[in-house]
Copies of this chain bind each other. A is one copy, B any other.
Amino acid sequence: MPEDSRFGPARHVTLPGPFVVDSGAVLGTVDVGYSTHGDPRHPTILICHALTGDQHVASPHPRTGKPGWWSRMVGPGLPIDTSRHFVVCANVLGSCMGTSGPASVDPASGCRYAMRFPVVTIRDMVRVQALLLDHLGVGRLHAVVGGSMGGMQVLAWAAAFPDRVERAVVIASAARHAAQPIAFHEVGRQAIMADPNWRGGDYYDGPPPAAGLAVARMAAHITYVSEAGLTEKFGRRLQNRPDGATGAKSFGFDADFQVESYLRHQGISFVDRFDANAYLYITRAMDYFDLGEEHGGRIADAFRGSRTRFCLVSFDTDWLYPTAESRAVVKALHAAGAAASFVELSSPFGHDAFLLDVPELDRVVAGFLAS
């Protein structure tokens, strides 16, 4: 790999502005936290992360020390092969891991943006990624790959920059956010904003709205797993009690059931690594996502003339972005004359399957990227 401070895990750049977001608001400059893996002379694969993901796709998370969130997919000899591709992953605009978002300091005022940060869109996220790639000297992309909100970015990439995207891998995603996922996001936002520590978003000099954010995460987490998966993993099994008693009901409000304890842990561990305002902004961007919006509802019109090759994957137990959403995208792509393949994979993991051990997903991704 060439010696160049632009390349490697855990990098950071301040891109010169002004950057005009879809709402019309202007950011003077944009910070971007990102990681690269592999040799920049190789064909580039851009990975787009999901709602609560980040740029630490294949290297340890700096706060939790855990392995990269897709380290089973990205690395030497893995389906996204860093010995043959230059892999880039950037924290999205609006997030809290180095890229400008509500927790960032506004250079103009010297204060945190908080809710003065502009509401951004998935397309804004993608345009920042394009500027980052310009900075890295990357023109065309061998592929853009992402699951869930990452898949929305992949579709937005292919729509906004068709000439830069050779291949697009869209996993467990949708071309527009439907009513039920909007509803779940709204529950999460209301939970955060109901927390008195939220204080209109200006909580950075005090305690964060941790309780609200934990509730938001708990509600969201249920949508990430399958009903059968929860039953299989926990069923109605009871926790062992702190006093050592096994599996007895407390007749109280402690976490009697293992599934309660698991959910509480999901909520509590999340608040240590994520900013509540960023959660508001990113869920809003997802809710606003609708590739048909500018085309009278016709998603196909977003892809007319595209020469990008698309690969869509859904999971049979994903009820958040179910197979029907992927099918709708494929139908639109075919109507636009684009090349699109689609597979529904079987997995017990629900929506989270794209992050977990699904060997068939590895084969599909590896095969499509080598094609």
Contact = CB atoms under 8 A, between A and B. Distances in A.
A313 to B, nearest CB: 21
A179 B235 contact: yes
Nearest to A235: B179
Contacts of A177: 236
B218 A253 contact: no
A184 B222 contact: yes
Contact of A193 (B23, B222, B236, B253): B253
Interface string A245-260: 0000101110111011
Interface string A289-323: 01000000000000000000000000000010000
Interface in A184-236: 184, 186-187, 189-191, 193-196, 211-212, 214-215, 218-219, 222, 227, 230-231, 233-236
A230 B191 contact: no
A194 B215 contact: yes
A362 to B, nearest CB: 28
Nearest to A212: B194
A361 B311 CA distance: 44
Given A190-B214, A190-B267, A222-B187, A182 B257 contact: yes
Contact of A287 (B119, B195, B257, B284): B257
Contacts of A215: 187, 190-191, 194, 215
A182 B236 CA distance: 9
A183 B259 contact: yes
A155 to B, nearest CB: 16
Interface in A228-284: 230-231, 233-236, 249, 251-253, 255-257, 259-260, 263-264, 267, 280, 284
A178 interface: yes
B179 A253 contact: no
Nearest to A231: B179
A288 interface: yes
A118 interface: yes
A180 interface: yes
B178 A227 contact: yes
A123 interface: no
Nearest to A181: B227
Given A179-B236, A183-B260, A231-B179, A218 B194 contact: no
B253 A180 contact: no
Contact of A259 (B182, B194, B251, B267): B182
A167 interface: no
Which 7 pairs, one residue from A and one from B, show the smallest C-beta to C-beta distance?
A194-B211, A23-B251, A179-B230, A119-B251, A186-B260, A180-B227, A179-B259
Given A115-B253, A182-B236, 16 more contacts: A25-B251, A119-B253, A179-B236, A179-B257, A180-B227, A180-B230, A183-B218, A183-B259, A186-B257, A187-B215, A187-B263, A191-B191, A191-B215, A194-B195, A194-B214, A256-B287
10 contacts: A118-B251, A119-B251, A180-B227, A183-B230, A186-B259, A186-B263, A187-B215, A190-B264, A191-B215, A256-B287
